[in-house]
Amino acid sequence: MCDICGSYPCLPGCPNNEPPEIYRCDRCGESIVAGDKFIEEPDGDIVCECCLDNMTMNDLLEELGISLQTAEVDIW
């Protein structure tokens, strides 16, 4: 019998019933479990696929430390 919910098998919503968390998204705090997709940013932050989906390209580039540049003509 489960220590947390007192049932076997576990009740829905019992933490023991959830797949083990491997990482946690630094944006939304959601668990990332086996099979989930995520990225690791250069600063070590973990971002889940769901948050990536909600990001604009600019957000994503910024998170990755890349800035969009504007092409300018060199005037000498």
User: 54 by DSSP, 3-state: which?
Assistant: helix
Q: Please tell me what DSSP assigns to residue 20.
A: P
Q: Is 31 in the site for Zn ion (CB under 5 A)?
A: no
- List the one residue from 32, 38, 48, 63 that touches Zn ion (CB under 5 A): 48
Q: Is 46 in the site for Zn ion (CB under 5 A)?
A: no
User: 17 by DSSP, 3-state: which?
Assistant: helix
**Between residues 9 and 66, which has the closer beta carbon with respect to Zn ion?**
9
Residues within the interface to Zn ion (CB under 5 A): 2, 4-5, 10, 14, 16, 25, 27-28, 30, 48, 51
